[in-house]
A and B are shown apart, each in its own frame.
Chain A
Amino acid sequence: MLVEETFTVAAPKAEVARFLLDVPRMGACVPGVEDLQRVDEDRYAATLLVRMGPIQARFKGDVTLDAGGAPDTIVATASGRDATTGSVAQVTFSADLVENGDGSTEIRSVSDVTIRGRLGQFGSGVVTSTAREMVKSFAQCAGQELGGVTPDTDQPSSPPGAASVIGRGLLSWLRDIWARIFHRGSRGGGK
């Protein structure tokens, strides 16, 4: 499934790219990362602790960085296996960096997440939601690391009243909350 997240951070593109290519620093922003260790130039071993409600999975695996497109595009692929549930996770995270001209950079990220095995059967809704939450949490952390997230101007500052709702529709409650916190919009969906 694809999880798309676009967010803006108050830092120039080169600095954002440096951050994303600095795996230990970037990894610290990924919720649940444990034991991140360099294996060779572009490859790291890591364990990712993922919590889906009461379920806890520990994916052991590795992360490979593709800096070939930097600073415009940065791609990281990760895969790991959780022994308890016999599940494997694969994530391809790609980020396009676009400079806004005001010194800030828009990060357009697309994460392709596949979970196979028993956790993959647990429910795509749960997996999508968990992946979305992780990317959002990462975005928030990255924003803080890089000097804060630009306030979002596209979103209404508070949910519209009922009177205005009828007839023109509403953005979702969740989207409202998240949008107000740190980002411009998000989309998750099945592949």
Chain B
Amino acid sequence: MIRFVEPRDLQEACAVLADDEWGNKVISGGTALVLMMAQGLIAPSTLVNIGRLQGMDGISRDDARITIGARATHRAIATSPEVMQWLPALADACGRVGNVRVRNVGTLGGNLAEADYAADPPTVLVGLDAVCHVTGPHGARDLPVADLATGFYSTSLGPGEIITAVSVPIGEDRVSAYEKFVSRSSEDRPCVGVFATARYDGSSIEKLRVVVGAAVAVPRLCDDITGSVAGDALEDATIRNMAAAISEAIDPIEDARGSAWYRRKVTAVLVRRAVERVSR
């Protein structure tokens, strides 16, 4: 029989989780976890509910960053005035996750910890140098979102570790865009998601960054390809060459949403469209 534990605080939650890495699962919104339980894919022995812990669902800003509690829902992020003003691409990506019910209940921490490849927010967060604040049995640490997912549904979180918040740097002069492509019903998860962000120095792009998500097992940061791209106005040919190089560089997944061939094609198109949107 399954046990439902309401920990008093985060430390207790971590301790219970660490007891049995595979049998004990943390539950917050429950969207992904309850789905897998209902499908008979997992059968946890204990659920540790962090859904009632105080102070994990707020969204706050200081001069350098916006910090989003792990239990903030996609809806809360998408409609947060702070996020909409400072991180519009993140608001956009969160506003397009699943459907209104999933956005109402599903949390950012849950989305990141599930590490489903067909997701939107991680792609944006990796590109924005976001950092997860993680608490575990041995204390707290910061973990870049880029280092979180290690493969399909797998993360670098240790036993008993819980994401408590995500911090996203702000304050630089940058323009960002998220391009989502669904290949089937409008309700589908992304076949390819591309995030582009340009850091400006005056009218000149100082740094361009592109992240490809959903087409690959974990979001692919393309600094190795975009690193040398800078300047006032990006030539059409430069953008196209870069898009082609990125589409070649990824190792695309094949599933019902598209073959590897197709995902490369769409990635090239989306990279170009996203970069064009961030080029002033």
The answer to whether B43 touches A84 (Cβ under 8 A) is yes
- Neighbour of A169 across the interface among B36, B41, B228, B245, CB < 8 A: B245
CB distance from B249 to the nearest CB of A (A): 4
Q: How far is the CA of A165 from the CA of B153 in the complex (A)?
A: 30
Which residues of chain A come closer than 8 Å to B36, judged between CB atoms? 54-55
Quick check: is B255 within 8 A (CB to CB) of the other chain?
yes
User: What is the chain B residue whose CB lies nearest that of A49?
Assistant: B22
Known contacts: A52-B153, A53-B154, A133-B151. The answer to whether A173 contacts B40 by CB under 8 A is no
- Neighbour of A174 across the interface among B40, B217, B241, B242, CB < 8 A: B217
Binary CB contact string for chain B from 132 to 156 against chain A (1 if under 8 A, 0 otherwise): 0000000000000000000111100
CB-contacts of B184-220 with A (<8 A): 217, 220
The answer to whether B255 touches A124 (Cβ under 8 A) is yes
Which residues of chain B come closer than 8 Å to A169, judged between CB atoms? 245, 248-249
Which residues of chain A come closer than 8 Å to B115, judged between CB atoms? 53
Known contacts: A125-B253, A175-B251. The answer to whether A118 contacts B41 by CB under 8 A is yes
Which residues of chain A come closer than 8 Å to B270, judged between CB atoms? none
Binary CB contact string for chain A from 136 to 167 against chain B (1 if under 8 A, 0 otherwise): 00000000000000000000000111110111
Q: How far is the CA of A133 from the CA of B151 in the complex (A)?
A: 10
- Neighbour of A166 across the interface among B114, B245, B250, B255, CB < 8 A: B245
CB distance from B61 to the nearest CB of A (A): 33
Q: How far is the CA of A103 from the CA of B117 in the complex (A)?
A: 42
User: What is the chain B residue whose CB lies nearest that of A126?
Assistant: B152
Q: How far is the CA of A162 from the CA of B208 in the complex (A)?
A: 12
The answer to whether B228 touches A53 (Cβ under 8 A) is no
Q: How far is the CA of A126 from the CA of B250 in the complex (A)?
A: 17
The answer to whether B217 touches A129 (Cβ under 8 A) is yes
The answer to whether A170 touches B22 (Cβ under 8 A) is no
- Neighbour of B152 across the interface among A129, A159, A160, A170, CB < 8 A: A129
Residues of chain B touching chain A, judged by Cβ–Cβ distance below 8 Å, are 22, 25, 36, 39-43, 114-115, 117, 151-154, 217, 220, 224-229, 241-242, 244-245, 248-251, 253-255
A-B contact pairs, 29 of them (CB 8 A): A52-B153, A53-B154, A54-B114, A55-B36, A55-B41, A55-B42, A55-B153, A56-B22, A56-B42, A84-B40, A84-B43, A85-B41, A119-B41, A123-B255, A125-B152, A125-B253, A125-B254, A129-B151, A129-B152, A161-B228, A162-B226, A162-B227, A165-B225, A166-B225, A170-B224, A170-B245, A172-B249, A173-B220, A173-B251
